[in-house]
Amino acid sequence: MPKRPTSCAYCGGPLPPPALTGRPRSFCSAQCRRANEMVVVSRRREEMERREAERREAEWKTKEKAREDKAEREYQRAIKAGGDVAAEAKWQRLYDQVSDEGRYDLCQWALESGHPGACSNRTVEVFCAKHNRELERDIERRRRAKAREDEHAVPKRTTPSPSRARRISTKHSASNWPAYKARHPGRARFYASSTWRSMRDRQLRGHPTCVVCGDKASHVDHVLAIANGGTTDGPLQSMCRRCHLQKTVKDSHQAAKLAAARRR
């Protein structure tokens, strides 16, 4: 025969004597019985919520696995396609990996500026240091171009402008170099030799400024042009590009006059 309980199953207090029916009681009062029923219902609800959460988590993992498998198939398909498609897919995968780390991002030069070629440099800003410098140079170029436009923007004249001297083009520009070589092969060989390059570099190191305007010199010129009777040995002088072209035009005109005088 099972032993009759002597304490309440809910509060632990002593049980009253059995009722006239003789059935054993498990609770000391109706309040304890109702409280116990609420506890049982609450436990069942918690168990159902736990099972529902496990079901939702399992469903989410299944969907996440399917999404990852689909992304992997698309990535492999892009790699097989090659070219820009493969490069963009590799960049996007690397970008996702770096973003998951939470410390850096990839340079978004190709996405933000529309320039071709994806950059895989890590940065804490939008662009890496290299492309930040390129962006600053681009902004500076546009600023200078705008300044030149504003500088050359001349208002409409109401009176006729004075006549201007006709600009005389030089015959020694880079585009006329083949004709110059055909007409003066000896001079062309000298200017293409290492001897002239050594003389030019030595002159620029010793005199880095233009003898006419004082700007930084980039050309070396014979004081007396070879066409006018000068020698290849010098003397030499440092000049900027603009002043050198102007002197070359004058020397060409003088040489033409001397040639015309000799033909007479």
Residues of the chain above pLDDT 90, percent: 8
First to last CA, the chain: 153
Name the residue among 41, 12, 45, 43 with its Cα closest to residue 29. 12
217, 210 contact by CB (below 8 A):
yes
State if pTM tops 0.95.
Answer: no
Helix (H), strand (E) counts: the chain: 8, 4
With 70 as the cut, is the pLDDT of residue 20 above it?
Answer: no
Topology of the domain covering 177-263: His-Me finger endonuclease fold (3.40.1800)
Secondary structure of residue 239 in the 3-state scheme: strand
Q: Which two tokens stand for residue 43?
A: 């436990």
Q: For the segment 105-153, what is each residue's pLDDT rounded down to a tens digit?
A: 667 766 655 554 567 777 766 677 777 788 788 888 888 888 888 776 6
Q: Where are the domains of the chain?
A: 1-64, 82-151, 177-263
Cis peptide upstream of residue 235 (ω within 30 degrees of 0): yes
- At residue 219, the 3 state secondary structure works out as strand
pLDDT given at position 36: 83
Q: How is residue 150 written in tokens?
A: 């504003």
168: number of Cβ within 10 Å:
11
173 has a pLDDT exceeding 50: no
Q: Where are the beta strands (DSSP E) in 62-209?
A: 105-106, 122-123
- Reading the block at residue 59, the tokens are 């469903």
Contact call for residues 105 and 95 (beta carbons, < 8 A): yes
Least confident interval from 27-31, 174-178, 234-238: 174-178
Q: Let me know: does 244 contact 219? Beta carbons within 8 Å.
A: yes
- Measured CA to CA, the distance from residue 170 to residue 177 in angstroms comes to 11
Q: Are 120 and 106 in contact (CB under 8 A)?
A: yes
Determine the average pLDDT of the residues in 188-198. 79
**Least confident range of 59-63, 99-103, 115-119:** 115-119
